Chain A
Amino acid sequence: MEIPKNATRRKFLKTGLVAGALVAGGTLGASELISAIDSKPTGNKIKLLSPDGKIVEVDASVISPSVAGFLVSNHNVRQGVPGKKFVMVIDLSKCKNARKCHKACSKMHYLPENRSYIKVNKMQDSPEASPYWMPTPCFHCDNPPCVKVCPVGATFKLSDGIVGIDNARCIGCRFCMVACPYNARVFNWGEEMFHLSPEEKNAIKPHEACGSHVVGTVEKCDFCPQKTGDNKLPDCVEACPNGVFYFGDEVEDVISNGDETLQLSKVLRDKAGYRFMEDLGTKPRVYYLPPVDRQFPFTETKQTSK
């Protein structure tokens, strides 16, 4: 990236000052928050939510996108990461229902523990076959039935392949929820579905204020855009102790689970990668590797539900 050095430094310092002020208390180092990505000076005021819950207004130009994504509630949900096509591969042979993805997702998206955008389902293909665990995030389909039916364009396809939601536009008709054959979407039925007490917030310490919960609107897995935009893996991928999730860019043809990096096309070819219910023609961006040569014998995990 070509950025004039001085400008970058000045921006960095300015950003640092603002962010430093915001994280007064020092729970998070300012340097962690800043990346020196250039942001176009907009002149717009941006509302920032500081970790202690105060709302501060600053000019947009002093905030780099990743910082904005980190602290700001008005991340531009209609903007994809240019030149990327995000893709996920889930290796079913490794999943043992550790549910760390579920927990990390709740944390990331500021949700109570029993609520998350990713589910881990017990599946069984035939009575004789052993059951297996299948995590299901949003599949971010390339022919998305949910996007087709939205009457107001509150859910849409981004250039990076992600199916985004604009919670400021959603009218809450829930047509997308019934149109999704995978039940990937959840609805903010009321405030108690996501509101956390200050104690709970402290316990969870949501590290990114991503996903602005609006009562009466639909939400779902968003592939953690603030992280993936900075070439960091989504939280469910990072959190998985068994490396079940691989995330990457289809354009680059490379996926990674944090420990292991693989060539997407080669993995799909060699390991018979498939997409769930391919016959529906929704063209998911999430692939599965079959649950063969399991790393863990299937054990029924006690499922908690509130």
Chain B
Amino acid sequence: MNTATITSINEETGAVERHKIPQVLLDDLLPKRLTTSGKLWMYFLLTVMAIGAYAYFTQLKNGLVVTDMRDYASWGIYISNFVFFVAISLVGSLISAVLKLTDVKWRTPLVRISEIIAVASITFAALIIIVDMGRPDRFWHLFVYGRIQSPIMWDVIVITTYFTISILLLYIPLLPDLAICRDKLTGAAKWKRWCYKFFALNWKNTPRQYKIVNDSIKVLAVLIIPLALSIHTVTSWLFATTFRVGWDSSNFGPYFVAGAFMAGAAAVTAIMYVVREHYNLQKYITDKHFDHMGKLLVLLSLIYLYFNVNEYLVPGYKMKEVEGDQLKSLFTGNYAPMFWSVQILGLAIPVIILLFKKGRRPIPIFIISIVVVIGAWFKRLLIVTPTLLHPFIPMQNVPESWHHYVPTWQEWAITSASLAGVFFIIQIFIRLFPVISIWEMAEETETEAK
């Protein structure tokens, strides 16, 4: 019973074939203990999260007055961070659904990483929106008094659904691997062994079990694509359904979705580099993968660039009164340094570098991906804040500080803690479960051997 096997059905003969999983796969891919640097990283994340928790405590005690949000800039980095997390979470559907349905073979080692990134970031998207609420104690009002007319309600529904499907898309392909963990990691702590056994759902490699898993993944992969589109489209509607300058755009849905795919692809590229280097997975996550992801990132960046041109050129051509002021603040005003850094460093230059084969080698693409992700974060700040500081009736008779939005330490601490939280979930997951699907890799080597 201790020999790990996988089952496959020969497509021509219909015969059930059973293969032993190569020992090398098990050695390489079964979860490993934390190294010293891994432990330090965990402590660091926990410290950041503790500071964020303290900051949130002060916010709960005193109200949102601890932030720099006021009556005009009434949404701040909590909301832009929320949009960022929703955007990142779209990568799950990109890798595990879009690439699956388009039959991209090289995706296998990336599926689980991207799915865990999706689950972690959608979790913190939901948490950060509670942080943004003035009355988090009334969160239950959403379920008791919810109005279907409100885009926030749509967002609540669609995020809950996306979260559930992402969990399923993470969990179902994990079943055979959980069984391998159950059977192989007999030396693990008792609670872990109990977890593996419980969550493996009596997995016994039977052909019917495999069929259910494969069918379910297919169904979910089809289902998650419209959901991924709607989760970010609905998030864009939180802005586009208002009259505000810069948000009042019918372009916003696809603009957000395009940006999300780009940011998500960059995030998964960056994280897969760290995972590969830290766990010595060069055999599985090869330079070829970075090359492919680089090409994909170029494509997604160009699509996003196209939407950016639409989003800024069209209103910029017309220069309506208040919208013009807002655009000027971005193009030449006080937001210009951030705006042009984001557009040039976070969008234009990555496209140029990634067009070259050398630019798609692991280290350059890792650095570029990080820049793209940081740019994506600030891009969302640029979408939220300058608009709110350009109301139709000019701001008058308000304290000078209300004319600007400079996040306070509490906002930065809570935002950093949410980012740390995402990394923390990813780290915990990698510590407990195989970060690359063992059974799918075995299947792949099997197919290649033929």
Minimum CB–CB distance for A297 against chain B, Å: 20
Contact A151 B152 (CB under 8 A): yes
Q: Please name all residues of chain A whose beta carbon is closer than 8 Å to the beta carbon of B147 when the two chains form the complex.
A: 150-153
Contact A172 B71 (CB under 8 A): no
Contact B152 A121 (CB under 8 A): no
Task: Please choose the segment from B115-123, B240-248, B305-313 that sits at the chain A interface, where 4 or more of its residues have CB less than 8 A away.
Answer: B240-248
Q: Specify the chain A residue showing the minimal Cβ separation from B245.
A: A181
Q: Does A204 belong to the interface (CB within 8 Å)?
A: no
Contact A171 B142 (CB under 8 A): yes
Q: Does A119 belong to the interface (CB within 8 Å)?
A: yes
Bound-state Cα–Cα, A303 to B72, Å: 18
Q: Does B370 belong to the interface (CB within 8 Å)?
A: no
Contact B139 A171 (CB under 8 A): yes
Minimum CB–CB distance for A298 against chain B, Å: 15
Contact B64 A119 (CB under 8 A): no
Contact B388 A216 (CB under 8 A): no
Bound-state Cα–Cα, A120 to B398, Å: 11
Contact A216 B71 (CB under 8 A): no
Contact of A174 among B134, B146, B241, B391 (CB under 8 A): B134
Q: Does B185 belong to the interface (CB within 8 Å)?
A: no
Bound-state Cα–Cα, A109 to B419, Å: 41
Contact of A172 among B67, B134, B243 (CB under 8 A): B134
Bound-state Cα–Cα, A216 to B137, Å: 10
Minimum CB–CB distance for B213 against chain A, Å: 37
Minimum CB–CB distance for B391 against chain A, Å: 5
Among B70, B133, B134, B388, the one with the most A-chain Cβ atoms within 10 Å of its Cβ is: B134
Q: Please name all residues of chain B whose beta carbon is closer than 8 Å to the beta carbon of A145 when the two chains form the complex.
A: 242-243
Question: Given that A153-B145, A189-B64 are contacting pairs, would A119 and B397 also be in contact in the complex, using a CB cutoff of 8 Å?
Answer: yes
Contact B151 A149 (CB under 8 A): yes
Contact of A190 among B64, B74, B156, B394 (CB under 8 A): B64
Give residues of chain A (189-230) contacting chain B, Cβ–Cβ below 8 Å. 189-193, 214-218
Contact of B244 among A120, A173, A181 (CB under 8 A): A181
Contact A181 B152 (CB under 8 A): no
Q: Does A11 belong to the interface (CB within 8 Å)?
A: no
Q: Please name all residues of chain A whose beta carbon is closer than 8 Å to the beta carbon of B57 when the two chains form the complex.
A: none
Question: Given that A174-B75, A216-B135 are contacting pairs, would A151 and B146 also be in contact in the complex, using a CB cutoff of 8 Å?
Answer: yes
Size band of the interface chain B makes with A = 35 or more
Q: Please name all residues of chain B whose beta carbon is closer than 8 Å to the beta carbon of A306 when the two chains form the complex.
A: 399
Bound-state Cα–Cα, A122 to B395, Å: 10
Bound-state Cα–Cα, A216 to B74, Å: 12
Q: Does A67 belong to the interface (CB within 8 Å)?
A: no
Bound-state Cα–Cα, A120 to B397, Å: 8
Contact pattern, B 111-135, Cβ under 8 Å of A = 1, otherwise 0 = 0000000000000000000001111
Q: Specify the chain B residue showing the minimal Cβ separation from A115.
A: B71
Q: Does A267 belong to the interface (CB within 8 Å)?
A: no
Minimum CB–CB distance for A103 against chain B, Å: 12
Contact B71 A173 (CB under 8 A): no
Minimum CB–CB distance for A90 against chain B, Å: 14
Q: Please name all residues of chain B whose beta carbon is closer than 8 Å to the beta carbon of A170 when the two chains form the complex.
A: 134-135, 138
Minimum CB–CB distance for A129 against chain B, Å: 14
Q: Please name all residues of chain A whose beta carbon is closer than 8 Å to the beta carbon of B150 when the two chains form the complex.
A: 148-151, 175
Contact of B132 among A150, A173, A178, A192 (CB under 8 A): A173
Give residues of chain B (229-246) contacting chain A, Cβ–Cβ below 8 Å. 238-239, 241-244
Give residues of chain B (250-287) contacting chain A, Cβ–Cβ below 8 Å. none
Contact pattern, B 72-83, Cβ under 8 Å of A = 1, otherwise 0 = 101100000000
Minimum CB–CB distance for A39 against chain B, Å: 27
Q: Does A8 belong to the interface (CB within 8 Å)?
A: no
Minimum CB–CB distance for B155 against chain A, Å: 9
Minimum CB–CB distance for B326 against chain A, Å: 14
Minimum CB–CB distance for B133 against chain A, Å: 5
Contact B141 A187 (CB under 8 A): no
Contact B400 A305 (CB under 8 A): yes
Contact B244 A183 (CB under 8 A): no
Q: Please name all residues of chain B whose beta carbon is closer than 8 Å to the beta carbon of A171 when the two chains form the complex.
A: 133-135, 138-139, 141-142
Q: Main secondary structure on chain A at its contact with chain B?
A: loop
Q: Does B153 belong to the interface (CB within 8 Å)?
A: yes
Minimum CB–CB distance for A286 against chain B, Å: 13
Among A136, A179, A217, A277, the one with the most B-chain Cβ atoms within 10 Å of its Cβ is: A179
Contact B393 A305 (CB under 8 A): no
Q: Does A169 belong to the interface (CB within 8 Å)?
A: yes
Bound-state Cα–Cα, A189 to B134, Å: 8
Bound-state Cα–Cα, A303 to B397, Å: 6
Contact A189 B398 (CB under 8 A): no
Contact A215 B134 (CB under 8 A): yes
Q: Please name all residues of chain B whose beta carbon is closer than 8 Å to the beta carbon of A149 when the two chains form the complex.
A: 149-152, 241-242
Contact of B135 among A172, A178, A186, A280 (CB under 8 A): A172
Q: Specify the chain B residue showing the minimal Cβ separation from A175.
A: B152
Q: Specify the chain B residue showing the minimal Cβ separation from A185.
A: B71
Bound-state Cα–Cα, A176 to B239, Å: 11
Give residues of chain B (31-66) contacting chain A, Cβ–Cβ below 8 Å. 62-66
Q: Does A188 belong to the interface (CB within 8 Å)?
A: yes
Bound-state Cα–Cα, A173 to B75, Å: 9
Q: Specify the chain A residue showing the minimal Cβ separation from B151.
A: A149
Contact B396 A119 (CB under 8 A): yes
Contact B397 A187 (CB under 8 A): no
Contact A152 B141 (CB under 8 A): yes
Q: Does A177 belong to the interface (CB within 8 Å)?
A: yes
Contact B71 A186 (CB under 8 A): yes
Q: Does B69 belong to the interface (CB within 8 Å)?
A: yes
Instruction: Supply 29 A–B pairs (Cβ within 8 Å), ascending by A.
Output: A119-B397, A121-B396, A122-B394, A149-B242, A150-B150, A151-B147, A151-B152, A153-B145, A153-B147, A154-B145, A169-B145, A171-B134, A171-B135, A172-B64, A172-B138, A173-B134, A177-B74, A181-B242, A183-B71, A185-B71, A186-B71, A188-B63, A188-B134, A190-B64, A190-B66, A191-B63, A216-B63, A217-B134, A305-B400
Instruction: List 6 additional A-B contacts (Cβ < 8 Å) besides A149-B152, A175-B151.
Output: A122-B394, A172-B134, A172-B138, A175-B152, A216-B64, A216-B135
